[in-house]
Structure 1
């Protein structure tokens, strides 16, 4: 009986690994499936606002984080398996969670805003102060920033999960959790198609 229980636990852990973020290149907050479901249920569903007045400059990003480092450099160091150089980071090893590719040159990486700045603008950030938008764009304590391949980030652009999801199947659970967590933390709305897509992705999570 004990042996069967141990085998079950091992199988369960292995199945979790298909849906959990890698040990590296992930934001610091990944809620449980139950927490994410509660957060998703609590989000306001409404049509997106207009892009009138939007500019990336209204979200000051990659600000100084002290010690000569800006937000980009902090995330590069946080998400690296290993790295050389302080700020700037000059080389290292990074696993791109979205597409499962490993990189050694930091110039091949983008720091993705899980919820893109333009998406945030359409979802409520247009009414924020510049200070609020700066805090959102440089949020190191939540689920909002991750180092990924430049190609995957640029493929995503400002799309929400109804039109773009990570190409690596095993990344969808974590991505949905991070998206939901970010929108919940920052009290951003979502549209109906976005919620449907997120629910489908969340259903793929083991826990």
Structure 2
């Protein structure tokens, strides 16, 4: 009986220690400034590189009601300056292991039947571009777009970030910040905000509006009045 009590006591103590350790852990993969998923409930997102949920083509998307709440909470401010901006200040594409960088990981995530060569470059597959609905079978015709462009991020708050935060923003596969789209649609978009450019395929507006709002909310970026108005219009195209 005495031996049984000692073993049980040790097991209970170990369980308590494990519980405390788990409760105190944080997600080291989350980008700087990301909400704590334990404290924020619906603001949590799938792990980096994880696939999208439901009918969405991007990971980490919030629902329409949550997107409206986040949009209302975003700080409205005039367009910021481009002084000091350089794409080189946003490290991309980051290495993701096994010779793969962020671009190649997103290409595989967003495509179907993607095969790679020994250097992790996509050599075949099928991709459907969210912006224009075009189906592509050549990886060279696809770009990896930053939902909120790096320059737009700079104008709306990233100018004050450190290098680590900018790198996280430029390589974020947890939130809906990166997606494979046709090179033509990506270059048409450039660094423009939603009031100045909208995806030509209007059926994508609901996802686009939710994704843009999610990213700006996660990173604490500002919006302009025209930008906020157009995002509202996009969210109004959602069925729920």
Q: Could you say which TM-score interval applies, normalised by the shorter chain?
A: 0.7 to 0.9
1:57 aligns with 2:88: yes
| Structure of higher RCO (CA pairs closer than 8 Å, 6+ residues apart) | 1
Q: Which residue in the other structure is 1:106 paired with? A: 139
How many angstroms apart in 1 are the aligned matches of 2:220 and 2:167? Answer: 15
Residue 29 of structure 1 and its aligned partner are, at CA, apart by 1.7
The equivalent of 1:35 in structure 2 is 66
Q: Distance in 2 between matches of 1:179 and 1:92?
A: 27
Is 1:25–1:78's contact at 8 Å kept on the other side of the alignment? no
Residue 215 of structure 2 is aligned to residue 179 of structure 1: no
Q: TM-score, with normalisation over the residues of structure 2?
A: 0.75
Classify 1:24/1:112 alpha carbon distance in 2 versus 1 (closer, same or farther; 3 Å): farther
Give yes or no for contact 1:110–1:148 (8 Å, CA) kept in 2.
yes
- Gaps (5+ residues) in structure 2? 1-51
For residue 22 of structure 1, report the CA deviation from its aligned partner: 10
If you compute each CA radius of gyration, which structure gives the higher value, 1 or 2?
Answer: 2
Matched-pair contact (CA < 8 Å) for 1:25–1:96 = no
- For the pair 1:149 / 2:171, whether they are aligned, the reply is no
2:45 match: none
Q: What CA distance in whole angstroms lies between the structure 2 residues aligned with 1:142 and 1:22?
A: 12
- Kept in 2, the 8 Å contact 1:29–1:143? The answer is yes
Which SS does the other structure have where 1:177 is aligned? Answer: helix
